[in-house]
Amino acid sequence: MTRRHTRVGPLAATDARAPRLDVDALIDDSAVGIIVCCGSGGVGKTTTSAAVALRAAERGRRVVVVTIDPARRLAQAMGIERLDNTPRPVTGLDLSRGGGLDAMMLDMKSTFDEVVISQTTPEKAAQILENPFYVALSTSFAGTQEYMAMEKLGQIHRAARKDGSYDLIVVDTPPSRSALDFLDAPERLSSFLDGRFIRLLLTPAKGPARLMSAGLGLITNALTKIVGAQVLRDMQTFVAAFDTLFGGFRQRAQQTYRLLQADGTAFLVVAAPEPDALREAAYFTERLEADRMPLAGLVVNRASQQPESTMSAEEAMAAAARLNGEASVTAALLRLHSDRARMVASEARLISRFATGHPDVPMTVVPALPSDVHDLDGLRQVGALLASG
């Protein structure tokens, strides 16, 4: 994989320019088998992953993209509104270079179910799947979505290695508040699953009453009063049935973690040109480095576009003030121009600050398009901008 280590010059403190992220070199590199798009919520992870996947496919790679929460119209355009947890071919692409694109939308619950089924006997699996605690855990526990995204990546990777179906897997990440959740949640989930609270509950289900300490008996009695006997029984049955899976879960999470550290993996961190998103991106790039995970670069998405005219924000504002009262439309336009120019300047400062702090991180800037990206043409356009920015 191409990793650039261009250092910026002595002007860095005032005018830092990041090395350019060469997206085409990245997607054309046959050694790159996994691209993970991460970043904080709403910055364009899903859009970027779909755009990268489509561009790679049209450049000849056999790609599968796992999206998490595509906007409805985008999902429709890619033919993935159905949640059946299986990648399906995306139609309407130019595949003259021999590539292909399959896409799927991650279904958290079915992925969790698949893991349970693969890890235990059919009877035990059935018992777990219908337990109300399992249903709650598999759909709403914080971190389940992150865990399942990793699990699905692991599954597809193993299958692709066996049957050669794909040579590039592009993964979108869940809409967590923090990008770090994607890396932390699986560990949090597996330590919850084999944590002390669960062990405590497990004991009464397993052993005869006399094995219980008096203290634990009291806790159980109190819990019975609070949540009711049936609920407590469900909880204990669930934990007892789940017990056999603890090891399996942890092992799989660790396997996928190692996969993320492998040379064939590349992380694209997506951020909006805003202080919070860029701060989050900075944390994330540092964390990737600490965890020895290969960072390809930063995508600054939805950047304001430079106004056509070269008039500065101040000049436009001054002109608007002179026109005051006479030509209100012109004055309004001049003010708009001034706001835009100011926005562009402030985004440039933020980007430059990031580049100063992280001079080794290659970067590409994608401007905000006039409307949402909800069809293949829109994705193609974002892909071209990613590659040229």
Count of residues that bind Mg ion according to CB under 5 A: 3
Structure tokens at 231: 């609920």
- Show the CA angle centred on residue 46, arms to residues 368 and 111, nearest 5°: 170
Residue type, 29: D
The DSSP-derived string for 135-171 is HHHHHHSTTHHHHHHHHHHHHHHHHHHHH---SEEEE
Applying CB under 5 A, which part among 67-75, 98-106, 130-138, 353-361 lies near Mg ion?
Answer: 67-75
Asked whether position 344 contacts ligand ADP by CB under 6 A, the answer is no
* b/e 70-103 (16+ beta carbons within 10 angstroms → b): beeebbebbebeeeebebbebeebeeeeebbbbb
Query: Are 220 and 212 in contact, with CB atoms under 8 Å apart?
Result: yes
Kindly tell me which of 189 and 299 has the beta carbon lying closer to ligand ADP. Answer: 299
Asked whether position 364 contacts ligand ADP by CB under 6 A, the answer is no
Q: How far is the CB of 28 from ligand ADP (least distance, A)?
A: 22
Kindly tell me which of 74 and 125 has the beta carbon lying closer to Mg ion. Answer: 74
Asked whether position 69 contacts Mg ion by CB under 5 A, the answer is yes
Rounded Cα distance, 58 and 100, in Å:
7
Kindly tell me which of 46 and 131 has the beta carbon lying closer to Mg ion. Answer: 46
Structure tokens at 280: 């989050």
Could you say which of Mg ion, ligand ADP, none residue 301 binds, taking C-beta under 5 to 8 angstroms by partner kind? Answer: ligand ADP
Asked whether position 175 contacts ligand ADP by CB under 6 A, the answer is yes
Residue type, 378: G
Measured CA distances, 378 to 2, 77, 369, 382 (Å) = 27, 10, 9, 6
Site for ligand ADP in 279-308 (CB under 6 A): 301-302
Rounded Cα distance, 313 and 361, in Å:
30
Asked whether position 47 contacts Mg ion by CB under 5 A, the answer is no
Applying CB under 5 A, which part among 40-48, 81-89, 217-225, 298-306 lies near Mg ion?
Answer: 40-48
Asked whether position 55 contacts ligand ADP by CB under 6 A, the answer is no
Asked whether position 366 contacts ligand ADP by CB under 6 A, the answer is yes
Binding track over 12-51 against ligand ADP, x by CB under 6 A:
-----------------------------xxxxxxx----
Closest by Cα among 85, 197, 67 to 137:
197
E strands, the chain, in order: 34-38, 62-67, 88-89, 100-105, 168-172, 265-271, 295-303, 363-367
Q: How far is the CB of 384 from ligand ADP (least distance, A)?
A: 12
**Binds Mg ion by CB under 5 A, chosen from 33, 35, 37, 46:** 46
Site for ligand ADP in 71-90 (CB under 6 A): 71
Asked whether position 273 contacts ligand ADP by CB under 6 A, the answer is no
Residue whose structure tokens are 């899903």? 46
The residues that touch Mg ion, with contacts defined as CB under 5 A, are 45-46, 69
The residues that touch ligand ADP, with contacts defined as CB under 6 A, are 41-47, 71, 175, 301-302, 366, 368-369, 372-374, 382
